[in-house]
Amino acid sequence: MQTRRIGDVDVSSIGLGAMPMSIEGRPDEERSIATVHAALDAGVTLIDTADAYHRDADEVGHNETLIAKALASHERGGDVLVATKGGHLRPGDGSWTLDGSPRHLKEACEASLTRLGVEAIGLYQFHRPDPRVPYEDSVGAVRDLLDEGKILMAGISNANPEQIRLANEVLGGRLVSVQNQFSPAFRSSEPELRLCDEHGIAFLPWSPLGGISRAGELGSAHAPFARIAEKYGVSPQRVCLAWMLAKSPVVVPIPGSSRPETIRDSLAATDLVLGADELAELDAA
C-alpha cells in the first residue's frame, strides 16, 4: 500500500470512511467488522469516524465503539491512525444539529477517548462550523485539547479557505488536515484542495464517490469515468479515486464502505495510473 502524510504520520494513501456502518441502512456488526478487517488486510492505516455517526439518539458514538472493537480484534489494529470528529450531533430523528461550543467539544473529546479506548486521539477534527459560535473559539477548544495531550493532531472539516487560514493561525501552524466533501458531482472544494496543497496540509475528501446512495451510479452519471474504467477493465469508482490521488500528494480519499468487496476495490485505485490526457478529461467532465 502506498502512503501519504498527515502531520508527522505516514498513512495509507486511501483510508476507510466508516460512517456507512453506523447510520441508517447499516449492516449487522459481523459484516462491519469484516469490512474493517478487509481494509486492514489490504494495508489501510487510516480510518475516519465521528461521535455523530450513529442512528438512534441513545447510541451516540456507535461508530467509534464499533471501530474500537474491530481494531482490537485484528493483529494490525494498533497500526491504524483513527481520525474522529466532534461538534456535530444527531438527535435520533434523522436530522443533524451543531454544537461548536468549547465546552461541548471538550466533553465530546473525553467521551471519544473512552469509546476508542485510548489515552490520546490520533487525529481530532472539528466536524462542522457552528454559526452560533465564533469559529476561533471552536478551534481554540481543539487547540487546548492538543496542548493538553488529549489529541495528537488537529484537523477541521467542512471548512472554507478563510476558516482554514484562521484555524491554522489559532492552532499555531499545527493544522494537519482538512476534511471536505469532494467528488465528481461536488467540486466546489477545489479552492480548499489547492490551499491545502500550497501549505502541505492533508486534504481528506469525504463522499469521494458521491455518497452512500449514489456511489453505485458514478459511471452512469459521469460518462468519462465509465469510459476510462471500461478501457482499463476496472470500476468507475476505482478511476475516480485514482483521479483524486493524481490531483495532489496531499489528497487522502476516505471512501465510505460497509462491505469488504467495496473497500478492496477502492484500495486498488492506488495501482491505477492515469495518463495526462485522461486526467484532463476527467477534470473537465
Q: Reduced to 3 DSSP states, what percent helix, strand and coil does the chain have, rounded to the nearest 5?
A: 45, 15, 35
One-letter amino acid of 172: G
What's the pLDDT tens digit per position in 142-174?
A: 999 999 999 999 999 999 999 999 999 999 999
Residue-level pLDDT at 285: 85
pLDDT, mean of residues 253-259: 95
Catalytic residue, from 53, 124, 135, 232: name it.
53
Residue-level pLDDT at 38: 97
Quick one: residue 147, left, alpha or beta (phi over 0 = left, psi -120 to 50 = alpha)?
Answer: alpha
**255 band by pLDDT with thresholds 50, 70 and 90:** very high
What's the pLDDT tens digit per position in 75-124?
A: 999 999 999 999 999 998 889 999 999 999 999 999 999 999 999 999 99
Pairing of strands 97-98, 88-89: antiparallel
Residue-level pLDDT at 237: 95
Sign of CA dihedral 151, 130, 88, 185: negative
What's the pLDDT tens digit per position in 42-60?
A: 999 999 999 999 999 999 9
Residue-level pLDDT at 212: 77
Place of cell 483524486: 244
**34 band by pLDDT with thresholds 50, 70 and 90:** very high
Quote the CA–CA distance of 86 and 142 in Å, as a whole number: 10
- 124 labelled catalytic: no
E strand segments, 13-99: 16-17, 46-48, 81-86, 88-89, 97-98
CA nearest to 33, candidates 51, 47, 52: 47
Q: Which three cell numbers stand for residue 173?
A: 501552524
Pairing of strands 88-89, 9-12: unpaired
